[in-house]
Amino acid sequence: MRKITSISLIILAFVLSQCASVPMSGRSQLALIDNDKIFPMSFDQYEQVKKESKIITGTDEARMVKRVGTRIQRAVEQYFNNQSQGDYLNDYQWEFNLIDEETVNAWCMPGGKVAFYTGIMPICQDELGVAVVMGHEIAHAIANHGRERISQQYAAQFGLSAVSILLTGGSSAPSIPTEIIMQGAGAATSLGILAFSRKHESESDKLGLYFMAMAGYDPQEAPKFWERMAAQSGGEAPPEFVSTHPSHDTRIADLNANMPKAMEYYRKSQ
């Protein structure tokens, strides 16, 4: 019993040591698996999604998605460089694509691979609306929510035995299944499996607001976008306590609460 307790304590200490800090927010998050393992699998999965989907190219909307994504990407990179943290983004490989699918959604793979579905474009309406969604998705990547979610799913699926293998540096730790990678991107959900928590969504709302402002997009558009999203849902959104997303009212209130700081970034960008 003492031996089991000692091993458990060692594993617990290891898990606690495998934490990272979210940029700008400072929140501590679980990081059992390094990005140099996650990113290549994420990029491969993104390529598979592209092969299986109809990628829209050459249209105004497709060009807008790429333009907005690149603009926010560069603004975020400049911010990190100014903070002497440019190395943080070294392994990111940004890509922005529009997929022909009527689902009202967008997502970002760990490492910076973004996908917009055509179904969300009418709610975006214009470049500012795209910037709201793009900032949010880029924030998921910058905050490493995918790695955090993958670490949580990995530990839950494989248990302490896998963690102990990681602890001892063994090579027999289970590989990360495709479905966990997709869940880590917020790109797939199934009954009982939540892609991102409300905590992740709220954090991405906040950081995304700042990122779009850094890129010169008026952050005051963000609450308007979510008002349109609320109107589109027709009041059919699930109650907040059983949803992976904050309620529309909570989301809008939080965005407005963070608006003064966002406007500081916006004024500096002008």
Question: Which residues have a catalytic role annotated?
Answer: 137
Pairwise CA distance, residues 110 & 181, whole Å: 8
CA 181 to chain CA centroid, Å, is 12
- The number of residues making up the chain comes to 270
DSSP three-state, residue 92: coil
Contact present, 194 and 233 (Cβ < 8 Å): no
Residue 108, beta-bridge partner list: 114
Contact present, 167 and 14 (Cβ < 8 Å): yes
Cα distances (angstroms) measured from residue 171 to each of 44, 53, 84, 162, 167: 21, 34, 35, 10, 11
